[in-house]
Structure 1
């Protein structure tokens, strides 16, 4: 519980710092798009990592479900493949957004 409190306090501090990054390019002296490729790479890495974790947990649940009830294998397999498609679509949507934003 204590660790969760620190996570939320850190997120609150980050959200309060957002207006500092909302300045125009003329007032900072640099390009406002200089961090976009870096942020895109970090975002794709996070999306891919969590999609991998989600797919692993889905496979874990499907194998446990089939081992406990082999008669439900067709339904579990269908839901497993559908879930994997939805999980993978999140990473693909992230990649599409990155290609649209980074030039």
Structure 2
């Protein structure tokens, strides 16, 4: 299905000259946008993996010692906030760089 979408979308790229008024390939700004998309995808994916591992560890810790659930939950929420902030910092850097 993805291959079909790529094949159907290819005529869209043939309509312009890549943003370069003299013709030719893509400009420097075009590559920044493409790299920004990849960097946000990587940052979001790795943040999600890290958050999943953190929650997994917290749940295992609470299962082993239910008496410490408050401390474990507080540390987990703080860690999740830090992980999410890294993805948001990536988004801010992308907006600054692209716009």
Question: TM-score, normalising length from structure 2?
Answer: 0.72
Matched, 1:89 2:56: no
Unaligned runs of 5+ residues in structure 1 are: 1-28
How many residues align? The count is 75
Correspondence for 1:100 among 76, 96, 99: 96
CA RMSD of aligned residues (A): 1.3
77, 80, 85: which is aligned to 2:76?
80
Q: How does 1:28-43 map to 2 (within 5 A)?
A: 31-43=27-39
- Following TM superposition, the consecutive aligned residue runs of length 4 or more in structure 1 with deviations greater than 3 angstroms are none
| Greater radius of gyration (CA) | 2
2:64 to 68, 71, 84: 68
Higher-RCO chain (CA-CA 8 Å, sequence separation at least 6): 1
In the alignment, structure 2 segments of 5+ residues that lack a partner are 1-24
- Cα deviation, residue 42, structure 1: 0.4
- Structure-1-length-normalised TM-score: 0.69
